[in-house]
Amino acid sequence: MSGEKTGDTYDLETIIEGGKGNAGVPHGDLLLKFADAVLGDDDAALSESRRQLAAVLGPEAVIDAVGVISSFNSVVRVADATGIPVESFKEEAAENLKVEFNLGTPN
């Protein structure tokens, strides 16, 4: 939705499918690799990804990325656990994404 406001386009398939590329975000390839490493269980991959991100964007960017990753991860878990419904104006877009990327669609 933010892309509609700014005129930016993002490749959600790259994000969801874990494909190659930056997904339309500067240094998105490094950020996606880092997010996957943070949420994964491979300590060596995390260390290497953190090193690469810091080398390109600086240590402050690593801190910012960790903050964003942890915030989104925790907020979504809390919302799901408490049963907070999706706002009505987002329902159609959410359903379209579920269908497009085969996410949680009923059998």
Cα–Cα distance measured from residue 29 to residue 32, given in angstroms and rounded to the nearest whole number: 5
User: What is the model's pLDDT at position 18?
Assistant: 63
Q: What average pLDDT does the segment 71-90 reach?
A: 80
Radius of gyration of the chain (CA): 16
pLDDT band with cut points at 50, 70 and 90 for residue 9? confident
Assess whether pLDDT exceeds 90 at residue 13.
no
Q: How far is CA 83 from each of CA 34, 36, 71, 80, 92, rounded to the nearest angstrom?
A: 29, 26, 18, 5, 18
Higher pLDDT, 41 or 7: 41
> Percent of the chain, pLDDT > 90?
32
What's the pLDDT tens digit per position in 25-73?
A: 888 889 989 998 998 999 999 999 999 999 999 999 999 999 999 888 7
